[in-house]
Chain A
Amino acid sequence: MKSLGSIRRAFAPWNDPNAKPYIQFENVTKKFGDFTAVNNLSLTIFEREFFALLGASGCGKSTLLRMLAGFEEPTAGRIMLDGQDLRGIPPYRRPVNMMFQSYALFPHMSVEKNIAFGLKQEGMPSADIQKRVAEMLRLVKLEQFAKRKPHQLSGGQRQRVALARSVAKRPKVLLLDEPLGALDKKLREETQFELMDLQQELGLTFVVVTHDQEEAMTMADRIAIMDKGEVMQVATPAEIYEAPTSRFVAHFVGNVNMFEGKVADRTAGTARITGASGAQIVVDNGDAKPGSDIVFAIRPEKIKVSSKKPAEGVNALEGEVYDIAYLGDMTVYHVKLDDGQIVRASALNAARISEDPLTWNDRAWVSFRPDAGVVLTR
Chain B
Amino acid sequence: MSDIAATASAAPPVDVSASLPARLAKGFVGRLVIIVPYLWLLFFFLVPFVIVFKISLSQSAISMPPYTPVLDFSSGWSGFVGKLKQLSFDNYLWLTQDALYFKAYLSSVVIAGISTILTLLVGYPIAYGMARAPATIRPTLLMLVILPFWTSFLIRVYAWIGILKPEGLLNQLLLSLHVISEPLVILNTYTAIFIGIVYSYLPFMVLPLYSSLEKMDYSLIEAAKDLGCPPTSAFWKITFPLSLPGVIAGCLLVFIPAVGEFVIPDLLGGSQTLMIGRTLWNEFFSNRDWPVSSAVAVILLLLLIVPIMIFQQAQARAQEQGK
Chain A: residues with CB nearer than 8 A to chain B? Answer: 69-71, 90-93, 96-98, 100, 102, 104-108, 117-118, 121-122, 149, 151-152, 165-166, 169
Contact = CB atoms under 8 A, between A and B. Distances in A.
A118 B229 CA distance: 8
B182 interface: no
9 contacts: A90-B230, A100-B222, A104-B219, A106-B220, A106-B238, A118-B228, A121-B233, A151-B322, A169-B228
Contacts of B185: none
Contacts of B225: 70-71, 90-92
Contacts of B233: 121
B256 interface: no
B135 to A, nearest CB: 16
B217 to A, nearest CB: 6
- Which secondary structure dominates where chain A touches chain B? mixed
A118 B227 CA distance: 5
A118 B238 CA distance: 13
Given A121-B228, A121-B229, A151-B322, A107 B242 contact: yes
Interface string B112-142: 0000000000000000000000000000000
B217 A71 contact: no
The range of chain B's interface size is 10 to 19
B223 interface: yes
Contact of A71 (B222, B229, B242): B222
Interface of B: 217, 219-220, 222-230, 233, 237-238, 241-242, 322
A98 B226 contact: yes
Interface of B, secondary structure class, is helix
Contacts of A151: 322
A121 B226 contact: no
A92 B226 contact: yes
Nearest to A96: B226
Given A122-B228, A149-B322, A169-B228, A104 B223 contact: yes
Contacts of A117: 224, 227, 229, 237
Contacts of B220: 104, 106-107
B242 A92 contact: no
Which one of B224, B226, B237 has the highest number of Cβ atoms from chain A below 10 Å of its Cβ? B226
B228 A106 contact: no
Nearest to B221: A104
B217 A102 contact: yes
Contact of B228 (A71, A92, A100, A108): A92
A141 B247 CA distance: 37
A124 to B, nearest CB: 11
Closest CB pairs A-B (n = 7): A118-B227, A121-B228, A104-B223, A104-B219, A91-B225, A92-B225, A98-B226
Contacts of A69: 222, 226
Contact of B217 (A70, A104, A152): A104
Contacts of B322: 149, 151-152
A231 to B, nearest CB: 25
A107 B322 CA distance: 10
B146 to A, nearest CB: 29
A270 B227 CA distance: 56
Contacts of B230: 90, 92
A117 B230 CA distance: 13
B223 A121 contact: no
A100 B223 CA distance: 8
Contact of A121 (B217, B219, B227, B242): B227
Task: Indicate the member of A91, A108, A165 with the most B CB atoms within 10 Å.
Answer: A91
Nearest to B323: A152
Given A104-B217, A104-B220, 18 more contacts: A70-B225, A71-B225, A91-B222, A91-B225, A93-B228, A97-B226, A105-B223, A106-B220, A106-B223, A117-B224, A117-B227, A117-B229, A118-B228, A121-B228, A121-B229, A121-B233, A149-B322, A169-B228
A93 B231 CA distance: 12
Contacts of A71: 222, 225
Nearest to A175: B226
A106 B219 CA distance: 10
A81 B222 CA distance: 20
A305 B242 CA distance: 63
A98 B222 CA distance: 9
A100 B224 CA distance: 11
